[in-house]
């Protein structure tokens, strides 16, 4: 039997650091969107656990939805072609959208998604990520500076 722990070379952040940062992000989101209509959109499958932990910390009315989007296919290197595999089930016109992504890598997918969701009538589209890899960016994408990962 293969255990995921066998694949881990090095732990970057402790569980406590992650828990603390996620609580901080929840408070930032509450402050930034106080009194506004907010839909938090998780990008599956990677962001599932992060989003679940995050929305439990948010003490304001929110809606949630999920998308499955890929620019990798079955590979580990992005193909550059973004495909929506599962779209939103919610009408987002007039709503603020906060995309929750576990890792921002090349920026291709999120750049495409921001434009796609704005074209569908979202009032605003921001990104909240747990981990950011700006050195791998090939497509510019603005990560909400308050929602970027910095558990230090």
Closest Cα partner for 62 from 30, 17, 107?
A: 30
Active site residues: 105
**8, part of any domain:** no
* Each residue's pLDDT tens digit, 24-64: 999 999 999 999 999 999 999 888 999 999 999 999 999 99
Burial class of residue 103 (count of CB atoms within 10 Å of its CB; 0-12, 13-18, 19+): middle
**5, part of any domain:** no
Q: In residues, how long is the chain? A: 152
Single pTM value for the model? 0.83
Find how far residue 141's CA is from the centre of its chain.
12
The rounded distance, in Å, linking the Cα atoms of 36 and 59 is 13
Contact 147, 127 (CB under 8 A): yes
**59, part of any domain:** yes
CATH of the domain at 114: 3.40.50.2020
Structural domain of 30: 14-147
């Amino acid at each position: 039997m293969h255990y995921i722990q066998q694949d881990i070379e090095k732990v970057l952040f402790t569980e406590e650091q992650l828990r603390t940062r996620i609580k901080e992000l929840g408070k930032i989101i509450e402050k930034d969107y106080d009194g506004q209509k907010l839909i938090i959109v998780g990008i599956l499958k990677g962001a599932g656990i992060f989003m679940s932990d995050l929305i439990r910390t948010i003490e304001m009315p929110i809606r949630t939805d999920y998308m499955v989007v890929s620019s990798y296919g079955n590979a580990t290197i992005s193909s550059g072609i973004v495909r929506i595999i599962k779209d939103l089930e919610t009408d987002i016109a007039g709503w603020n959208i906060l995309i929750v992504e576990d890792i921002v890598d090349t920026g291709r997918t999120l750049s495409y998604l921001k434009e796609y969701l704005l074209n569908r009538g979202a009032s605003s589209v921001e990104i909240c990520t747990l981990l950011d890899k700006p050195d791998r960016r090939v497509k510019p994408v603005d990560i909400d500076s308050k929602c970027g990962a910095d558990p230090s």
